[in-house]
Amino acid sequence: MHQKRIGLLTSGGDCPGLNAVIRGVTKAAGQLGYDCVGFLKGYEGLVDPVCYVPLTNRNTSGILTRGGTILGSTNKGRFAATVGVEQRIAIDPALLEGVRHTVEQLGLCGLICVGGDGSLAVAQQFHEYGIPVVGVPKTIDNDLSATAFTFGFDSAVTCATDALDRLHTTAASHERVMVLEVMGRHAGWIALYAGIAGGGDVILIPEIPWTFDDVCHKILHRESQGKRFTLLVVAEGAELPDGGFVAREFEQLSRQTRLGGIGGVVAAEIERRLHRETRVAVLGHLQRGGPPTTFDRVLATQFGAHAVRLVHQQRFGEMICYHPPAMNSVPIIDAVNRLSRVDINSDAVQAARALGISFGDRPADQAGMHLNWETASV
Ligand code: F6P
């Protein structure tokens, strides 16, 4: 049996930077004398049938810049363990036993699980079952509370910002209202950051209740200042003023509600109320594809290297986390217990308000008033 072997898998929705982690783990493990295997299609590859490939310097060479994951991934199937606003779901004990068997058979001294909150909730259950796991946080949504940033987020924001730049010119040319719907599930990080970076006029996020009156007021207020177009960024998880998410369907396989469609609802209501030409763009999975940004390459590579360190130090049940400039770790259980959502008194929100960006929660002529600077952290 091989004694110095590390297993690795990528689970949940993909994002830019996963391949950088795979490369980082493989290289760092090699330096310490470990060899690596990568399981295919997330947790599915661990059992029934076991599917894995050896990871070497040769087959991970050149993948740093590539989006997606060479190992494949899924956010559905036998290991879907939703957390967040939905509940944790227990993994079938027969599957857990199968995973332990695989780990023993392959002589793995550690299993590195790269995933978001649902996937890390699975890793936590592995840990509780005695399987030696280490977690690496990944999601474009940036909604894991134990780390300041997850890789994938910066790439998604960059994509959404680029979309806003493009919408800006066409909105201005046609004097239209443009609504950009972005991902993020129940956190407004992507909408907030892209909205600020892309010069959005209105940002609607799940954390701040908003009204159509105030959104329309902002559009009219801009017009009164001679600005005959408006850019709105709407997070897919922003709740409608009368309550409720706009969702496509409940997916049995992922055991999650699939959000999406709020951009169209917002655009239609603006048109109905103001009779202004309004268009909607849903960015969708473009945010998850393509090469990682420089920031995400650095973050993902560091996560990979430090995950190997955790395995080497046998600090199982822990997840790497980033609190700039330091790489630390926390118990996985602390990372999956609560979502990180936008703090409505944060510096970023305060700065946006100071610029006159509307969150749809107050009349536009008061957007910058009542700034709560004293509660913002410095
Ligand atoms: O969690 C990442 C994410 O991209 C969310 O922002 C989005 O709601 C969801 O995944 C989309 O999932 P799927 O790939 O199943 O459509």
Question: Could you tell me if residue 371 is inside a domain?
Answer: no
Helices (H), 84-211: 93-105, 117-128, 153-174, 189-197
- Is the pLDDT score of 377 beyond 60? no
Distance between alpha carbon 97 and the CA centroid of its chain, in Å?
Answer: 30
**From the CA of 183, how far away is ligand 1's center (Å)?**
7
Residue numbers of the domain that contains 209: 155-289+343-366
Helix axes 212-224, 262-274, angle to 10 degrees: 60
| DSSP three-state, residue 330 | strand
Instruction: Tell me the HSE value of 175 on the side-chain side, using a 13 A CA sphere.
Output: 8
Same domain for 166 and 261, yes or no, is: yes
Burial of 291 (0-12, 13-18, 19+ CB in 10 A): middle
The mean per-residue pLDDT over the stretch 326-350 comes to: 95
CA distance 303 to 319: 9
Q: According to the model, what pLDDT value does residue 338 have?
A: 83
Ligand 1 atom, smallest distance to 288 CA: 4
DSSP 285: G
Same domain for 225 and 350, yes or no, is: yes
Ligand 1 atom, smallest distance to 75 CA: 15
pTM: 0.94
Q: Reply yes or no on whether 141 is catalytic.
A: yes
Strand partners, 115: 137
CA distance 222 to 228: 7
Same domain for 251 and 315, yes or no, is: no
- Tell the residue nearest (CA) to atom 8 of ligand 1: 185
Cβ of residue 119 lying under 6 Å from some atom of ligand 1: no
CATH at 283: 3.40.50.460
Same domain for 144 and 175, yes or no, is: no
- Is the pLDDT score of 356 beyond 90? yes
**From the CA of 13, how far away is ligand 1's center (Å)?**
6
Q: What is the pLDDT of residues 307-327, one digit of tens each?
A: 999 999 999 999 999 999 999
Place of tokens 């536009």: 364
